[in-house]
Amino acid sequence: MDWLESAGTVLDIGCSGGLFSTLAMGKGSRVIGMDVDLSSLKAAKLSAPMADFALGSGEALPYRDETYDAVVMLDVLEHVPSERKTLDEVDRVLRPDGKLIISVPNKGRFGFLDAQNSVLFAAGRKMMGRRGEAQFHRHYSLKELQDFIGPKYKLSKLRYGGYLLFPLCGYILMVTDPMRLVKLSQTIRRIEQVDFNKDQGTKSWHMMAEFVRVD
């Protein structure tokens, strides 16, 4: 939120339950949240009733060219079918000098421990009756991310976070969340947050970057 200046029109792609949309509204921004999951959008509308929400994919944004002052994608790019198509659409709807704030799993030291790429995750999805194949949880280096975004964008801010505890907590949450062990899950997330707040540079689990469109 420190990176998002007040006011302006913000598109929150992959808004999930609307946490970011709620916070951005509090800074005076006009926020439009988008997600492919209808149940997530219903939850988002409850948490941020003044924001606008739409069901849709980042690969086909239903908005005019150069509509937004900022586009935010928090832990979304690693899930989309095509990074190139999604970022081409982001470029189309973002205004000149607009911001793209994006976070992804980093190709850090412990990326191989990603719980969402594990056999346990696949088995859990099957047991819970989840339809469709889960997308592989991709990890990126800064160079790979910049290659997808392209030369029209200048890196203006960069932060890394998390190391070993963050991915290990993911395995525990895979069990405690479905079992609705709320207090235990909350404790695990607090441990996650402590690890996430420590910047280990390129060894880190997570990367967040702000790019400015400079063409």
Sequence letter at residue 51: A
Q: Which domain holds residue 33?
A: 9-107+132-162+206-213
How many residues are there in the chain? 215
What pLDDT shows up at residue 2? 86
Query: 59-75: b or e for each residue (b if 16 or more CB lie within 10 Å)?
Result: bebeeeeebbbbbbbbe
Residue 61 counted as domain residue = yes
Residue 147 counted as domain residue = yes
What pLDDT shows up at residue 130? 55
Full-model pTM: 0.89
Residue 178 counted as domain residue = no
What pLDDT shows up at residue 25? 85
Regarding beta strands 9-13 and 30-35, do their DSSP bridges make them parallel or antiparallel, or are they unpaired? parallel
Residue 87 counted as domain residue = yes
Residue 177 counted as domain residue = no
Residue 115 counted as domain residue = no
Which residue ranges of the chain lie beneath pLDDT 50? 132-133
DSSP H helices, the chain, are: 19-26, 38-47, 83-93, 119-127, 142-149, 165-176, 182-196
Q: What whole-number distance in Å separates Cα of residue 191 and Cα of residue 26?
A: 27
The CATH number assigned to the domain holding 27 equals 3.40.50.150
CA torsion through residues 38, 16, 150, 203, sign:
negative
Residue 186 counted as domain residue = no
Task: State CA 126 to chain mean position distance.
Answer: 24
The answer to whether 136 and 77 have CB atoms below 8 angstroms apart is: no
- What one-character DSSP code corresponds to residue 133? P
What pLDDT shows up at residue 42? 92
What pLDDT shows up at residue 121? 64
Average pLDDT, whole number, for the chain? 90
What pLDDT shows up at residue 129? 55
Q: Please give the helix or strand (H or E) that residue 161 lies within, else none.
A: strand 153-161
Sequence letter at residue 19: L
What pLDDT shows up at residue 125? 52
Residue 17 counted as domain residue = yes
The answer to whether 204 and 196 have CB atoms below 8 angstroms apart is: no
Q: Could you give the number of structural domains in the chain? A: 1
